[in-house]
Amino acid sequence: MERVIGLGGIFFKSNDPEKLAAGYRKHLGLNVEDWGGVTFQEGATADRQPKRKSYILWSPFAHDTDYFQPSEKPYMINFRVHDLAAVLAELRREGVEVIDEKMEESGKFGWIMDPEGTRIELWEPPLAGTE
């Protein structure tokens, strides 16, 4: 079974997310959006349309965020998957700690803990053309 198919995003704690984002905007040319992060969008070409609404996020969070809990790590990695339910079922069978799962407008999400206690986010993007 295919599991991870790509990177969905990098999320990390920052002492000053706005200042950090401004520095990345100025020095690296990142298009930091109003919500405080960057969306690297997969582009369509004349001969290829993406199957899913897939993109990669770069997003600093406030240093005191609890979004990464129960991990104590200052970062969280998001990986894209094709079939979240199947991947989570297989991980559960293998004894991996699955924390939660939910569906949102931007896709299906599930969270696991890796062997070193890092919260990992798994994301199944919605199909292209669905609103």
- Radius of gyration of the chain from Cα atoms? 16
Sign, Cα dihedral of 5, 112, 109, 21: negative
* pLDDT band, residue 3 (cuts 50/70/90): confident
pLDDT in tens, 26-44: 877 888 999 989 988 766 5
pLDDT at 64: 96
- Rounded to whole angstroms, the Cα distance separating 108 from 86 reads 12
Residue 47: inside a domain: no
Helix (H, G, I), strand (E, B) or coil at 14: strand
Judge whether 109 lies within some domain: yes
Domain CATH code at residue 23: 3.10.180.10
Kindly tell me if the per-residue pLDDT of 121 is higher than 60: yes
Asked, for residue 131, whether it belongs to a domain, the answer is: no
Higher pLDDT, 52 or 110: 110
If one counts the domains in the chain, the total is 1
The pair of three-digit structure tokens given for residue 75, joined into one six-digit string: 């970062």
CB of 110 closer than 8 Å to CB of 98 = yes
Q: Provide the domain limits for residue 71.
A: 4-42+52-124
Record the pTM. 0.79
